[in-house]
Amino acid sequence: MSIGMAANIMQSGVFQVLLVAAPMLIIAVTVGLVISIFQATTSIQEQTLTFVPKIIAILGSVAFFGPWMLSSMQQYTLRLLGLISQMGG
């Protein structure tokens, strides 16, 4: 296996992680921003108000995007397994 092939595998792995994590991260940031704006306008500084909606939103996003995430990771794994024959030598 050449250095270029190893770098390509590492690059595609990092991209795959970002691609799979992006929906959950975007939803968590959006919910956090909405809750922060709500807290700033109402002067409510309850700590559980920030965590509970984020947890619910992330669990909802996992339930909604879970099949796509699993399919994406499965395709990536199959691509990696297909490269095994090219790595020898």
pLDDT-derived band of residue 89, with 50, 70 and 90 as boundaries? low
Cα–Cα distance measured from residue 84 to residue 1, given in angstroms and rounded to the nearest whole number: 10
Host domain of residue 70: 3-87
DSSP string, 27-79: HHHHHHHHHHHHHHHHT---THHHHHHHHHHHHHHHHHHHHHHHHHHHHHHHH
Looking at the 3D structure of the chain, how many domains does it have? Answer: 1
pTM for the whole thing?
Answer: 0.80
What digits encode the pLDDT tens for the residues 4-45? 888 999 999 999 999 999 999 999 999 999 999 998 899 888
Share of the chain above pLDDT 70, in %: 98
Q: Of residues 46 and 59, which shows the higher confidence score?
A: 59
The number of C-alpha atoms within 13 Å of 88 and in the hemisphere containing its C-beta is 4
